[in-house]
């Protein structure tokens, strides 16, 4: 099947995987959403559901794509295989099977495996897991790569901490349309891998997504990005858009609650049940408890978000753009916090 036909077919099937919000269909997209969709298909190979799920909030959609493109997709000092290794390691640590499956598949293809295997690249992941994940309680590991690669690889780590949380909320566990049996997964991964790797072989100039959002300074907590001007601009613009979304959709008291509870946290699980979050929200005004519960779960245990949590937010007045913006702010706040803790040169 020619790529011109395959891309829209894969994109349409991918949109069926989005839950809790109505996806913006490819043929009905306009303005900023349409431009992001065009760039995603051109540079990533397919309209990826982890990006498209942001479409109810167009500026947040642009932010997510900008970070994905300028850190993972654009060639730079770090090889694509190293970026996919970081993406896989972070996704495994965040209990995000969807992202772990996609990036493990890409890693296997880049390593010459030719097909997805559950253990693809497992040995090569060991060093990057020690660097990228912060759950062992031991002393920080020195970066297992040259300093010039830090903006890209730390950028991929922070991006995946963000995307894992969004994906755990709005997508299912596996990259399959509803009703498709899991036995079809190898075929789906082979087709997706072909589309992604075909796109990866085409030239991708750095910075071509930056015009999607206005210029903004790089926040101090993202100083590890400063060595790569394009990555720094991408994070400055994207984080400004997501911060503004948070001011719009997340009550100040809820933002304060999330940020206070980040202090001292190194990414580990908060508990096997949701009892921890109920204790944190009980002091909030009743009308703010649903969004506070949702924001805390997205930040600290996104895999614990279920339909009841989302339904309570809807009942409290949250529409689709608000759900995406609350999720995006909470996910990026946690991702930035974890990014600060990554050992980087200097």
Between CA 104 and CA 116 the distance in angstroms is 7
Contact 133, 309 (CB under 8 A): no
Enclosing H/E stretch for 228: none
Task: Report the phi/psi class of residue 283: left, alpha or beta, with left for phi > 0 and alpha for psi in -120 to 50.
Answer: alpha
164 — phi, psi (to 5°)? Answer: -55, -45
What's the pLDDT score for residue 117? Answer: 41
The span from the CA of 92 to the CA of 24, in Å, is 29
Nearest CA among 231, 208, 200 for reference residue 79: 200
Predicted model pTM: 0.92
Query: Per-block average pLDDT, block size 10, for the chain (346 residues)?
Result: 57 86 92 97 93 98 98 93 90 93 89 47 57 59 81 96 98 87 87 82 92 98 96 98 98 97 89 90 94 98 96 96 98 96 79
Q: What are phi and psi of 178, to 5 degrees?
A: -55, 135
What is the C-alpha separation between 271 and 280, in angstroms, rounded?
13
Residue bearing tokens 């992202």: 99
């Amino acid at each position: 099947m020619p790529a011109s036909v395959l891309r829209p077919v894969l994109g349409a099937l991918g949109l069926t995987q989005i839950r809790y919000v109505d996806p913006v269909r490819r043929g009905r997209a306009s303005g900023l959403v349409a431009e992001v969709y065009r760039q995603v298909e051109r540079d990533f190979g397919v309209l990826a559901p982890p990006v498209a799920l942001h479409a109810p909030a167009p500026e947040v959609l642009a932010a997510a794509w900008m970070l994905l493109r300028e850190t993972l997709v654009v060639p730079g000092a770090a090889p694509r295989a190293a970026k996919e290794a970081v993406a896989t390691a972070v996704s495994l640590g965040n209990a995000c099977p969807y992202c772990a499956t996609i990036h493990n598949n890409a890693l296997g293809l880049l390593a010459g495996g030719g097909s997805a295997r559950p253990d693809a690249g497992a040995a090569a992941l060991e060093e990057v897991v020690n660097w990228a994940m912060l759950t062992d309680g031991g002393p920080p590991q020195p970066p297992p790569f040259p300093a010039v690669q830090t903006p890209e690889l730390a950028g991929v780590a922070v991006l995946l901490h963000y995307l894992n949380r969004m994906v755990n909320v709005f997508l299912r566990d596996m990259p399959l349309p509803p009703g498709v049996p899991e036995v079809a997964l190898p075929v789906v991964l082979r087709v997706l891998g072909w589309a992604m790797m075909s796109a990866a072989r085409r030239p991708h100039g750095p910075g071509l997504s930056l015009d999607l959002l206005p210029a903004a300074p790089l926040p101090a907590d993202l100083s590890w990005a400063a060595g790569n001007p394009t990555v720094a601009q991408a994070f400055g613009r994207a984080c400004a858009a997501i911060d503004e979304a948070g001011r719009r959709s997340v009550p100040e008291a809820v933002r304060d609650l999330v940020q206070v509870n980040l202090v001292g946290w190194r990414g580990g699980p908060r508990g096997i049940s949701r009892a921890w979050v109920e204790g944190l929200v009980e002091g909030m005004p009743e009308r703010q408890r649903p969004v506070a519960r949702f924001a805390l779960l997205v930040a600290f245990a996104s895999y614990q978000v279920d339909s009841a949590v989302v339904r309570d937010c809807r009942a409290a007045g949250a529409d689709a753009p608000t759900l995406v913006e609350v999720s995006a702010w909470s996910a990026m706040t946690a991702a930035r916090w974890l990014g600060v803790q990554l050992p980087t040169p200097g």
